[in-house]
Amino acid sequence: MVRNEWLSRHGAMAGWILAVAAVYYGGAKLGLLQEVVRGQVTPLWPPTGIALTALLLLGFRTWPGIALGAFLVNVTLGPSLPVVLAIVAGNTLAPMLSYRLLRSAGFRVRMDRLRDAVALVFLGALTGMLVSATVGTGALVLSGALTTTDFWPTWAAWWTGDAMGVLVITPVLLVLGTARMPRRARVRPLRCLEAAALGIGTLAVTQLAVSSSTNLLFLVSPFLIWAAFRFRHAGAAPCALLVSTIAIVAAAQQHGPFAHVDLFTTMVTLQAFNGITALTALLLAAVVTERRDTHREIQRVVAQLSEVLADLDPDDSLRQWPPPPRTNPDDDG
């Protein structure tokens, strides 16, 4: 019996590890479609978001799946096996560090507090991904695949790509992983219609913004605000992913505001836009969620207080509210 339970438990974990490796590999292949440096550095690296989400939802023991997926991706890209192993180590250690930092900060996967969003941005994305960018770029330079003068441009592109993977991909996966369907879910036609209008409007406006020679990227902001206020993370995270994906494709094809500019200008414009998009969606959705939860807590406390007051003895004048009016003792009536 004990052996069967052990095999069942470890067999399930092995299945999750293989699943993480497979999803990591698939996300990497999608990210490599828009590589900008040596076929390995992209403006958005989905595997970092996938890896961090796997650690947050499935536990720290799934890290071998991250390492396996990173190895399968880089073994056909690296110039030599030592460089591949170094890149794999960096790609594995970065989400592990982000996970530890988030746990130490009390991060909650529902992201229902502003502090959770801030922690994901500064600890999960910006701090944790320093490891993968530094190790990976350093390995390419030491191997001779990159010159020393290319270190900082490549490092910046690597770091921002990994950070964007956390900022854009992780919130969407966390929303899907923590979603709970009510037992008696009611389909509200107006709500569905609003969600459809939000999606179509975001897609249309983003396409217009990246197709025009005039910089109209700011037109996307109202839709992100709409998504955050009305649908919180469930709307803001997918909208941010949609906007960032369209912008990356436009930058790769040099359309709209990304036309007739050099690679450095393109990367700065693209990553600044994607960063602002992700931050706007993530932080605003967290603020709205925290405000809603606070309002509900106040309502709950008020309801409990009303029940307590209703149970008081109405004949006890000392506990009556409002108290009875005072009478003048000199007044005989």
Hey, how many other C-beta atoms are within 10 angstroms of the C-beta on 103?
14
pLDDT score of 85 more than 50 = yes
Q: The tokens of 54 are what?
A: 């796997």
pLDDT score of 36 more than 60 = no
pLDDT score of 263 more than 90 = no
Residue 238: predicted pLDDT: 95
Question: What's the sign of the alpha-carbon dihedral 217, 223, 228, 229?
Answer: positive
Residue 185: predicted pLDDT: 58
Distance (Å) of CA 14 to CA 27, 57, 64, 132, 243: 20, 15, 9, 25, 35
Average pLDDT over residues 110-119: 92
Residue corresponding to tokens 């536990």: 59
Distance (Å) of CA 215 to CA 184, 222, 224, 252, 272: 46, 16, 18, 16, 13
Residue 23: predicted pLDDT: 96
Residue 23: strand pairing partners: none
Residue 168: predicted pLDDT: 94
The size of the chain, in residues, is 333
Residues 246/227, Cβ–Cβ less than 8 Å: no
Q: Helix (H, G, I), strand (E, B), or coil: what is residue 80?
A: coil
What distance in Å separates the CA atoms of residue 215 and residue 330, rounded to the nearest whole number? 83
Task: Give the alpha-carbon dihedral of 273, 46, 66, 41, to 10 degrees.
Answer: -70
Q: Which of 65, 81, 75 is nearest to 40 (CA)?
A: 75
Average pLDDT over all residues of the chain: 86
pLDDT tens digit sequence for 265-321: 888 888 889 999 999 999 999 999 999 989 999 999 998 888 888 877 555 544 455
Residues 54/20, Cβ–Cβ less than 8 Å: yes
Q: Which of 166, 245, 231, 176 is nearest to 198 (CA)?
A: 231
What distance in Å separates the CA atoms of residue 272 and residue 264, rounded to the nearest whole number? 12
What distance in Å separates the CA atoms of residue 84 and residue 21, rounded to the nearest whole number? 16
Residue 37: strand pairing partners: 41
What distance in Å separates the CA atoms of residue 217 and residue 236, rounded to the nearest whole number? 17
What distance in Å separates the CA atoms of residue 252 and residue 244, rounded to the nearest whole number? 12
What distance in Å separates the CA atoms of residue 109 and residue 235, rounded to the nearest whole number? 16
Residue corresponding to tokens 């005989």: 332
Residue 218: alpha-carbon gap to chain centroid: 21
Residues 107/116, Cβ–Cβ less than 8 Å: yes
pLDDT tens digit sequence for 126-169: 999 999 999 999 999 998 888 899 898 889 889 989 999 999 99
Residue 153: predicted pLDDT: 84
Strands (E), the chain: none
Residues 283/117, Cβ–Cβ less than 8 Å: yes
Confidence of residue 333 (pLDDT cuts 50, 70, 90): very low
Q: The tokens of 268 are what?
A: 């700065």
What distance in Å separates the CA atoms of residue 69 and residue 166, rounded to the nearest whole number? 17
